[in-house]
Structure 1
Amino acid sequence: MAGTHDSVPLSVRRRDDEADRTVLLRASALVAAGYGVGASFQAAYIYTRVVPGWDDVALWQRLTANVVGVVVLVAALAAVRVHRARSGWAVAAGTLAAATLMAVVRTLVQVMVGVYPADDVAALRAELLAAVVAGAVSAGIGVWVMLGRRSARRRTRAAERDAVAVEHAVRALEDEEIRIRRQVAEGLHGTLQQRLVLVDAHLAEVEARRRTSDAGLADELAWVRRELAQIRDDDVRQMSRLLYPDRLELGLVPAVRALLGRLPATIATSLHASEAMRALDDPTRSDVTVPERLLALRVVEEAVTNALKHGPASRVDVRLDVEGAVLHIVVANDGAPYAPRAVDPVSGTSRLAQRLAVAGGRLRVGPGADVGVRVEAHLPLGVGTP
């Protein structure tokens, strides 16, 4: 039982001690009272019906003695603080002392109310021994119940600590991922693109010098410049967006709007964000963290990508709402009818569902209201936040 209170605040230890004391005393009193009432009825029946000369011993006298005994047992257990003992020997000693005191007081009360005469040594000795055993058993059951509750409490707190540790680890990994994504995206958008621009400028200078002397070389240099421009405009910027989407720092709503703005003009789009969502998405507040925004944006990206890939969608509608600290994301399209597919654990949708599950959320893909596909995600906000 040692180490029960390690690393537990004083206020929590006090509440734990109070809870242990209450459980111990209630369980001991209940068992002792049950024993006392049963023994009173049994003894009164046997003695008044079988033993001659005991007709004058009323039931209430035995009940009185046993009630006093229960009260003394509970008071003694509280006085010796059995609930605070941290070793088996201390618990056993306190329990036996309380049971002995209860037995002595109960026997004296029996003599006082006339259950036994004071000179009936044999009967008093038997009652004393029986009371010690009954008190020890009652208190022992109370201790057993208390220890069971204490063990359950330790397991619950250990599970809570493990869960918090996992949440903090996930949060740290998410923050590190965001940091790396931002650094790589800034590197692609800044340093690499700048170097490509410098290379293009030097090629332009070489092209100008060679234009009059070698038309073929000038054409080759022009082709290289066009390729560099395409790499800079398409590949580098696209990779930068994949790593760290545009306008994510401004909030989820601006980032989703920027994503929808890159879709072909032939696809109609709409974005509806509730007032609660807009208030919570304020970049000056920390209600929605960057990892949460990124995960939510990935839901929209995956739904839009699948809409373009699996069906000729002409419209994509996105709804963002917050209810009870849970972010609700709905992406619906009017493309091909929903067709359930075999679960692919390496698909983007499966990986996204796993990420949401780690964050305490869930993802559902199903048919739309009339046609197309509806993707719905629920993401708890603030999970793991200190």
Structure 2
Amino acid sequence: MTPAAVRHDDLVADRLTLLRGTGIVAIGYAVGASVQSAWIYSELVPEWGQVDLWRRLVANGVGVLALVVGLGVLGAHRVQGPVLLTVRLLAAALLMGVLRVAVQVGLGVHAADDTRSLLAETVTGAFIAFVSAGIGVWALVSRRRMRVATRAAERQAVSVELALQALEVEEIRVRRQVAEGLHGTVQQRLLLIDARLAKVEEQVDDAAPGVAQDIAWARAELAASREQDVRQMSRLLYPERLEMGLVPAVRALLGRLPTSIATRLEVGEELRTLDDPSQVGLTVAERLLAVRVVEEAVSNALKNGPPALVEVGLDLVGDELRIVVSNDGNPYVTPAAPDPASGTARLDQRLQLVGGALRVVGRHPTGARLEASLRLGAVPDEP
């Protein structure tokens, strides 16, 4: 929507608020004054009782209509300054007072030569009209303030969302870059060091057996560090097979579990179609967050007692990705006070930022079940 269109909509809404508020209050005054004149004052001033109630209502109704039309024609809703606004309200109020008295004379409510009554009716009508218009202006100002506050809150929310998206994009970029560096540059350097140590080991094997043993130990440590530490750190930063899709990444994660733990992965058909890397489906950021949820559930299962079975369910419900990870390990004990620094709590906060949720419940008779939801389209991807 263009700024001009927004401005036009605001003016239309402001005019409606002013005229509606003024008209409602003025109608209340008009009906009350008519009933008061016909039923109450007729007991004190007998000649007033000769005027029908409908004539007073018509005269006051015309006056209210004149006030509302006058405010609309004068464009009181467009005015920002208090002085000019007051002048326009007075003009519209005076118009109502004069026109109301003219209709009263025409309908025989007052005689044309009754100057005192006509003057009193004009002043009273104009005063009531001014008060009604003032209440309408109050409603208008209140609406403008609410509109400004609402739009400020919307801008702030958009700013926060854009900042979050920028952080997400930067996090994925850094994770991928560091993971590729570990997997490529660091691994290559360790391989070169190992090759050099192998040559040295061949040269000193017969001359210095003790040194050869130390070199062999160093090579074994390098190999273990390269295979476990570097590779594991790379996977933690950027899960294996993530570029191929969520399902391959989760399969790779479950494949690293000990062979003594059985695993089962169930994937809904809609998610399989959406997760096709050849199609525009899940973003890398969405896959990464989903894999982190499965990793956290599997890690908790291993820490709380080695399970015999870990089951992972991935499905698509509407625009939400549902993740369920259950195990048959030790009984789950709900903590008395959740630890905000735990991985599960941090994941829950991260999911809430994108309209998701996470919870952990116990299974019967033993084990735990993690349930998470992720609203698709809320997690930004790399540009």
Q: Same fold (TM over 0.5)?
A: yes
Post-superposition shift, 1:266?
1.4
Matches within 5 A, 1:68-79: 68-79=62-73
Q: What is the match of residue 319 of structure 2?
A: 325
Q: What is the match of residue 102 of structure 1?
A: 96
The 2-side partners of 1:384 and 1:133 are apart by 59
Q: What is the match of residue 358 of structure 2?
A: 363
The 2-side partners of 1:90 and 1:277 are apart by 63
Q: What is the match of residue 81 of structure 2?
A: 87
Query: 1:235 aligned to 2:229?
Result: yes
| Aligned partner letter, 1:192 | V
Determine which of 107, 118, 127 is the counterpart of 1:133.
Answer: 127
Post-superposition shift, 1:297?
1.3
Post-superposition shift, 1:60?
1.0
Determine which of 169, 176, 201 is the counterpart of 1:175.
Answer: 169
Contact 2:39 2:49 in 1 (8 A): no
Q: What is the match of residue 278 of structure 1?
A: 272
The 1-side partners of 2:314 and 2:89 are apart by 62
Q: What is the match of residue 347 of structure 2?
A: 352
**Deviation string, structure 1 residues 210-265 (Cα, Å, up to 9, x no partner):** 22333332222222211111111111100100111111122222211111111111
The 2-side partners of 1:124 and 1:148 are apart by 36
DSSP 3-state at the match of 1:53: helix
Q: What is the match of residue 260 of structure 2?
A: 266
DSSP 3-state at the match of 1:272: strand
The 2-side partners of 1:287 and 1:96 are apart by 63
| Aligned partner letter, 2:127 | V
**Deviation string, structure 1 residues 277-305 (Cα, Å, up to 9, x no partner):** 22333334555332332222111111101
Determine which of 310, 329, 333 is the counterpart of 1:339.
Answer: 333
Measured on the aligned residues, the alpha-carbon RMSD in Å equals 1.9
Runs of 5+ in structure 2 lacking a partner? none
Determine which of 296, 302, 310 is the counterpart of 1:302.
Answer: 296
Distance 1:251 1:34, change over 3 A: same
Contact 1:168 1:385 in 2 (8 A): no
Contact 1:256 1:297 in 2 (8 A): yes
Query: 1:163 aligned to 2:157?
Result: yes
Query: 1:379 aligned to 2:371?
Result: no
Contact 1:65 1:109 in 2 (8 A): yes
Matches within 5 A, 1:210-221: 210-221=204-215
The 1-side partners of 2:123 and 2:80 are apart by 28
DSSP 3-state at the match of 1:383: coil
- State the identity as a percent: 56
Contact 2:286 2:379 in 1 (8 A): no
TM-score, length basis structure 1: 0.93
Greater shift after overlay, 27-36 or 271-280?
271-280
Greater shift after overlay, 34-43 or 214-223?
214-223
Post-superposition shift, 1:327?
1.9
TM-score, length basis structure 2: 0.94
The 2-side partners of 1:110 and 1:287 are apart by 73
The 1-side partners of 2:131 and 2:5 are apart by 32
Contact 1:167 1:384 in 2 (8 A): no
The 2-side partners of 1:280 and 1:97 are apart by 66
DSSP 3-state at the match of 2:313: strand
DSSP 3-state at the match of 1:230: helix
Query: 1:288 aligned to 2:282?
Result: yes
Contact 1:287 1:381 in 2 (8 A): no
The 1-side partners of 2:83 and 2:378 are apart by 44
Contact 1:303 1:331 in 2 (8 A): yes
Post-superposition shift, 1:273?
1.8
Contact 2:204 2:212 in 1 (8 A): yes
Post-superposition shift, 1:47?
4.6
The 1-side partners of 2:207 and 2:93 are apart by 114
Contact 1:48 1:57 in 2 (8 A): no
